[in-house]
Structure formats: C-alpha cells, structure tokens
Structure 1
C-alpha cells in the first residue's frame, strides 16, 4: 500500500462550506464565489471556484496526511448535516448536531489565528526558559560553555546567548523548526476543543434580511459587553464560538439547541467581526450585494478602526 503524500496546498476553509457561498456562472454553470481582498478594497474583485479560495501553502508543513484524514472524518459528514439545516430540521438527528459542532471546532483550530497563537505561545515559553536557566543555573551554564568552547562566560549577555544556543538544540525547538510541534499541537488542540465544545449546545442563526459572509479566520470566539462585540479571546472566556455556514445560516455554541432569527443590524455586526478578524480575505455570495458594505468596512480596517 502506498504512503499518503504531503499536501502543500491546504484548505483552511472546507470546500464543502465555501460551496454554500457559490452561485452558478451564467456561461458554463460552474459554481463560483466572490473573494474580497481586504488589503486592496478598491480593486475589481473577480469570482473564483472554491478550489482557488481559502487555502494556504504548507499550513501543516510536515506529515499533513494524518491531520487531513482527521479533518476528512468531519467533512465527509457535513453535507448531510447542512442539508438538514436547509430543510429546517438541524436537530432531528443528534449526529447532525455533533458534526456541525465539530465543524465549528475544526475551523477554530485549523486557522491562521490559531497558528499565530501557537507561535506566540512557543516563543514566550522559549523566552521564559532562557531567563530561568540564566537565573537559576548560571554556574552550570559557565561550566558547559567552558567544556564546549574553552571560554569562561561572565556577563549576562554571554550567558544568555549560550543558553539560547543550548535550548535551540533541544528536541522541542528542532520540532518547532520542522513544523512537527505545530502539527502535534493542532491535532491535540482539536481533540481538547472538541471535548470542551461537547458541553455546549448548538444555535442555528438565520437573518431576517441580508446575508452572512465568511472570512479566512471564520470560527471566532465572541463576547458582548455593554453593546460592544469583542472577539478572539480564549474559548473559556467567551460567551460563544461562531461560524458562518452559508449566506443564510450561522452556527453559534450556546446553552440550548435552538433556531434563531436575527435582524439585519445583528447580521451586519457579525459580518464586520468577520472582516476585522480576517487575515486578508472574506468570501461573499456573488449575488449578495455586500461589496459596498465590505469595502467601507475594509477601508475603516485599513485606517485602524476595528470597532464593532
């Protein structure tokens, strides 16, 4: 049996999800959606197939087949669950609720936001470890430096440089450089988040009017305080975790399984959160009419205004 090959072009947004935001092209009937580049809001944005959207190169840089298989276990069950949402019966089958909740968790973990959090966390741990070694084991450092280099290190800068050199040779740091540490972390975090999310119920939210869009960091923790919508906090500090699953549906983890209809103002508010949280792109249904709305929000984002 052949060994699965490393996948370089890795979708962060499931194509089955992006397809919900597509419309058939008049010329050939191919399904396409509208990517909007938030770095260049004034440009002409062209429709594209889902295969060209929502992916990055080497997100998991090593042993990607194992995590692709993990994502695939969820994504294969999504079409039936989405069909139940469209039919207005998302809670009729408990398995549909489970897979939709897993879909939210998958997009929370398989994201550029999570990768940034992981990178920052590892760097902070590395910095703390260097400081700890210098403070608690200065003589051991000097002896090891003398053994390796023949030099006696006296000043804190020299000790720090040698401590950093030792730590960079550790298995953990080598795994960081190869990408193995991130691959292991993302898989472990998915399982932990899945367990945490299993204690929450599922809210299926539908607009009275208007449409949802989806950003390239689509699953977001949210907390509303004094009419202000905040996002990006730790899951344990959030009121909910949301994920748009189509122009007319958004999932939210809450206290009970329920279907909610929300006003246009609330839809706009959540769309602005998607725009602000995105790395670079949001994706629209081609007939949504949201381009002027997104362009205004993107211009405010470029100007540093991220209020919601």
Structure 2
C-alpha cells in the first residue's frame, strides 16, 4: 500500500477553527482573517487566507502521516460540533461534546508550546544522564574509554566528554534527531491528556461585549484567582484549559457542561493570555477592532520578556 506524501507545511491551528475568524475578502480572494505579528506590532498587517496562517514548517518530520491521521480524526468531527455551538445546542449530542473537548486537547498538544516543553525535557534528561554516568559508573566509563581510545581519562571533565560521546551515539538520541521521539511523544501525550480531560465538562463562553482573538499557541492552561491570571502551568495544576473557537465563542474545560457569558474585563484578560502565550502571531476577525489592543498587549509582552 502506497504511503501518503510527507506534509512540510503543517497547520497547528486547524483551518476549520481559523475559518471562524474570517470574512469574505475582496472579490476572488476567498475568506480571510487578520494575522497580527507580535514581534512587529507597528507593521501594516494584511488580510490572509486560513491556508497561509497558523502553520509551522516540518512540525512533525518523522512519519508525519501517522500524526496527520490522528489530527484528522479529531478535525473531521469539528465542523458539526462547531455548528452546534453557533446554534446554541452544544450539549444536545454527547458526540459533539466529546468532539469539542478533543479539539481543545488537540490544540494543547499540537503546539509550539508542547514542542518547547518536549525539547527542554530531553536536553535536561541528557545533561542529567551525563552526570549520573560520571557519578555512578566512573570505572566502567574509564574502561570503555580505554578500550575505544587507548587513553586513560584522568578526571570527571574528560569522563564527562566521553560520556557525552556515548550518549550521542545512543538510539534515543538518534530517534530525537530524526524526529521519531517527538512524533511518538506528541501522540502519546495527546492520548494521555485526552484521557485526563475525559472527566471534565465543556464550558461554552460568549463575550457580553467585544470579541475573542486566537494566538498561535491557542489552547492554554490557566488559573484565575481574583484579579490575577496565570497561564502555562501543567494540565493537572490548571483551573481550566481554554481555546477560542471564534470571535464570539471560547471553550473552557471545567467541572460541568454549561454555557455562559463573560464581561468585557474577562474577555480582555483572556485575550491578553492569548497574546502573551503566543509564539509570534495572534489572529482576529478583520472587523474586530482588536489591533490596538493587540499592539498594547504585544508591548507588555515584550517588556515582560525583556525584549
């Protein structure tokens, strides 16, 4: 059976989700939304199609067909579920509730944020393994170095260098470099988070005023305690996992299924989280009027990061 072709440009935000933020563009240009570059908030931002937004180059490079099949299994159920939200009937069909929940989990795992977490964890583990080998197996390292190089290594520094060479040749590091380790990790993590989230309800929130925007790390864990909003913690430590699904709707995993409205102040806080958690872009409806808001939040974000 022939294998499907590797996809280099891989959407991290589902196009079906981005389409909720679009409107018809100039004649013949299709449906468009407004991408806002947080690194250059003063730049003139031009409307683009969903195809040109929310993607990363070679996000999954090893056996990307496997990951794409998993993502597509979620995304195929999204249109009907999103239609039920727009019709104010999201909880009539339990399958729609499951589809909405899975859509949140998908965007939490298939993200720049998760790839960063994965890479950082791998590098910490590799560095820790060098130290463990030097501490627990110095004689064995010395004997192996003598066997391979004919040299007696005198101390921890030289043993550490040799240990790094051994680790570099390991199958785990080869799988990391090829992308195999990331592909298996992201699929396994999706299933684990999906299982953890299966007992959570889905809250469908609408703004009393204003609109939601969506960042390129769109599904964000948050804790809201009084006037303080924190984000980016582990899933198990969060009050909720949020995902904007349109200018007028946002999903939040919570204790039970419910619909509700949120005041402008909360809309602003949630939009600020999207800006601060983003890798580089946020996306908005062309007539949202959120450019000035995004520009201010982008400057605050730069100050926080010391840019």
TM-score, normalisation: structure 2 = 0.98
Determine whether 1:7 maps to 2:7. Answer: yes
- Aligned pairs for 1:1-308 (under 5 A) are 1-28=1-28, 30-304=30-304
Residue 3 of structure 1 and its aligned partner are, at CA, apart by: 1.1
Per-residue deviation, 1:138: 0.1
Matched residue pairs, number?
306
Rounded to whole Å, the distance in 2 between the matches of 1:294 and 1:209 is 17
User: Any idea what the Cα deviations from partners look like across 1:236-269, whole Å, max 9, x if unmatched?
Assistant: 1101100000000000000010001000111011
> 1:141-196 deviations in whole A, cap 9, x for unaligned?
00000000000001111000001110111111110011100000000000001000
Which secondary structure state, in structure 2, belongs to the residue aligned with residue 116 of structure 1?
Answer: helix
Gaps of 5+ in 2: none
CA distance in 2, matches of 1:180, 1:37: 31
3-state DSSP class of the match of 1:88?
coil
Structure-2 separation of matches of 1:79 and 1:226: 35
Shift of residue 303 of structure 1? 2.3
Q: Encode CA deviations 1:71-111: one digit per residue, 9 max, x unaligned.
A: 00010110000000000000000000000000000000000
Normalised by the length of structure 1, the TM-score is 0.98
CA displacement 1:119-150 (0-9 Å, x = unmatched):
01111111111111100000000000000000
Shift of residue 304, structure 1, vs aligned partner: 2.4
Q: How many angstroms apart in 2 are the aligned matches of 1:304 and 1:30? A: 37
Aligned residue for 1:289, secondary structure, equals coil
Q: Which runs of 5+ in 1 are unaligned?
A: none
Distance in 1 between residues matched to 2:268 and 2:145, nearest whole Å? 60
Deviation at 1:46, TM superposition (A): 0.1
